[in-house]
Chain A
Amino acid sequence: MIPLVGLAVGVVLGLLLQPTLPVGLQPYLPIAIVAALDALFGAFRAYLEGTFTDRVFVVSFVSNVFIAALIVWVGDQIGVGSQLSTGVVVVLGIRIFTNVAAIRRALFHA
């Protein structure tokens, strides 16, 4: 229950407060969101498999988001930012899809 309530509260907070990101951070927001999605689906799969742990989720979420943004930032500094963000999106996208497939198998046995 906590996860869904937390997510909903976060969305409502974001919509109500409409915080503005510093301009320097704006390019890294989409990548951070993809990394967050990856961590969320990974956590959900672990939950269904019975191996979920709060601590691991918190650490993996924060590090995922941070590392993804960092990779793109470094890429921007050395001039391959768009290529690196494509790479990050591809890798995280594959992970998300395999995780969702596992979740689907666990939930619907299909």
Chain B
Amino acid sequence: MRVTRDVPGPRRVDASMDLLNQILHAPVDPDYARVAAGVAPGDRRHARGHHWWLALVLVLAGTLFAVGALQTNRTRPVQASERTELIQRIQTAEGEQDALRRQVEDLDAQNRRLRSTALGGDDASKALETRIDQLGPLVGLAPVTGPGVVVVVDDAPTTGDDSRDQVLDLDLQVLANGLWTSGAEAVSINGHRLSALTAIRGAGDAITVDYRSLTRPYRVEAVGDPRTLQARLAESAAGAWWNDLSQNRGMTYQTSDASRLVLDSDPGITLRYARTVGR
């Protein structure tokens, strides 16, 4: 038995694009041509009844466009009002959050009073309380007042969309860490006190501290020895980092001494571990 093979005919170059060809080259409904071929040119307009159908369909088409346009226009104010409602809800939630934070601070103060009454007046308790009072400001549990340094940083004034000319979360982290290493006792950014547990992160276009977004310019306040803090910051790696940013990128970086700074406590601090005295 002989096997015969079909000799393939010359294949069209664009055979695989049949669909596209069909779309591109036969866009008119082929029925027009077919009907026109079957009907003599003089006869084509003989059926007057069809004119009414034509008019009806065209009226329908016009109505369709009008309704479509109206529908789109009608939903626009709805979307806008939904947007404002969302913004309002966010603002209410932020207000509630602030109220809750204040409540936390009140309760903290109450806690401290109760603690000192519970500890009593003997020597061990007094030593304990002194230690708490010493550590409180350092970890961010207590508000801190004192002289220090104010650092104001901001994006470069001619910034476009180039993120290299904008202050990043990393830059603020470097600055905060630099202040700590230069001997700052307490640091806050735009009024948000930093503790060991504070996160400085970028979220979209904004930088967040304790998950609250900041607005430019960034004002970093640090309480510490005013005689050494600024000089040591300038000598530290953070100072070099920010000098580079301000000279090469045009970002704002201003340090100044402040005779009295008031830094609130960090409301995010909670008691996670405790043990009874004397064990």
Q: Are A7 and B32 in contact (CB under 8 A)?
A: no
Q: Are A10 and B64 in contact (CB under 8 A)?
A: yes
Q: Are B64 and A33 in contact (CB under 8 A)?
A: yes
Within 8 A of B (CB), among A1-20: 2-3, 5-15, 18-19
Contacts of B24 in A (CB 8 A): 94, 98
Q: Are A102 and B27 in contact (CB under 8 A)?
A: yes
Contact among B51, B59, B71 with A13 in the assembled complex (CB-CB below 8 Å): B59
Question: What is the bound-complex CA distance between A94 and B19, given in angstroms?
Answer: 12
Residue B205 at the A interface, CB < 8 A?
no
Contacts of B118 in A (CB 8 A): none
Question: What is the bound-complex CA distance between A19 and B64, given in angstroms?
Answer: 10
Within 8 A of A (CB), among B42-70: 44, 47, 50-51, 53-68, 70
Interface majority SS (helix, strand, loop, mixed), chain A: helix
Contact among A21, A50, A53, A62 with B57 in the assembled complex (CB-CB below 8 Å): A62
Contacts of A30 in B (CB 8 A): 68
Stretch of B33-41, B93-101, B128-136, B262-270 contacting A (4+ beta carbons < 8 Å): B33-41
Q: Are B36 and A10 in contact (CB under 8 A)?
A: no
Question: What is the bound-complex CA distance between A58 and B29, given in angstroms?
Answer: 12
Which chain A residue has the least Cβ–Cβ distance from B54? Answer: A54
Q: Are B28 and A42 in contact (CB under 8 A)?
A: yes
Q: A54 and B53 in contact (CB under 8 A), knowing A14-B66, A15-B70, A46-B32?
A: yes
Q: Are A51 and B32 in contact (CB under 8 A)?
A: yes
Q: Are A8 and B62 in contact (CB under 8 A)?
A: yes
Contact among B50, B54, B56, B63 with A11 in the assembled complex (CB-CB below 8 Å): B63
Q: Are A9 and B33 in contact (CB under 8 A)?
A: no
Question: What is the bound-complex CA distance between A44 and B162, given in angstroms?
Answer: 50
Residue A109 at the B interface, CB < 8 A?
no
- Give A62 Cβ to nearest chain B Cβ, in Å: 7
Which chain B residue has the least Cβ–Cβ distance from A18? Answer: B70
- Give B43 Cβ to nearest chain A Cβ, in Å: 11
Contacts of A26 in B (CB 8 A): 71
Contact with B along A13-57 (1 / 0, CB 8 A): 111001101000010011011001001101001100111111111
List residues of chain A with CB under 8 Å of any chain B CB: 2-3, 5-15, 18-19, 21, 26, 29-30, 32-33, 36, 39-40, 42, 45-46, 49-62, 65, 91, 94-95, 98-99, 102
